[in-house]
Amino acid sequence: MRLVVGRIGRAHGIRGDVAVDVRTDDPDARFGEGAVLLTDPASVGPLTIASTRRHSGRLLVRFKGVADRDAAEALRGTTLLVDSADIAPLDDPDEFHDHELIGLRAVTTEGRTVGTVEDVLHHAQDVLVITAEEGHEVLVPFVADLVPDVDVAAGRITLDPPPGLLDLQSTD
């Protein structure tokens, strides 16, 4: 699975630097010197980072082979990606990357299959988006009381929902 880590904005200066809209929680690891990033569109990359620096709160990146403003401006709008297989698991056993959760089978503590995790939303509270076997969508707050067990290796999360949470169906 490919994960978005940034998007190239406008060129900065005349030596090939670009501003990058960072979309990762670990920019130091993703945008380190020598890091190779996949691109969308694929024909533009892969791109290798030559150097990075901060300027007025923005991340400026120079890629190998991009030596002037025109070449940098041609990259504008390119999405920067990494392969999820290249991202190490977190050290904390109670924290997960979104891509580790997506695709897991959701079951209740009684063993009833609910559906599959399709997405993770990050708002005031992290929320799992589960597509139920009946086809409707169920939103489950990702908290220990409601999701007491996550077993990535087994491909399963266990839900302990309050009465009615899983019975809600879309009325459209």
Tens of pLDDT, residue by residue over 121-167, are: 877 788 899 998 888 888 899 888 899 998 888 999 999 988 877 77
Say whether domain 2-85 belongs to CATH 2.60.40.1220: no
Q: Quick one: pLDDT at residue 24?
A: 75
Structural domain spans, the chain: 2-85, 98-159
Tens of pLDDT, residue by residue over 79-115, are: 998 876 666 665 656 667 777 788 899 999 998 888 9
Pick the CATH number of 98-159 from 3.30.420.10, 3.40.50.300, 2.30.30.240, 1.10.3720.10: 2.30.30.240
Same topology for domains 2-85 and 98-159, yes or no? no
Kindly report the pTM of this predicted structure: 0.59
Q: Quick one: pLDDT at residue 72?
A: 93
CA 6, CA 32: separation in Å to the nearest integer?
13
Which residue in this structure is represented by tokens 């990146």? 61
Question: Which amino acid type is present at position 13?
Answer: G
* Structure tokens given for 71: 């070449």
Residues facing 22 on adjacent strands: 6
Tally of CB atoms within 10 A around 117: 24
Tens of pLDDT, residue by residue over 46-87, are: 999 999 999 888 899 999 999 999 999 999 999 998 876 666
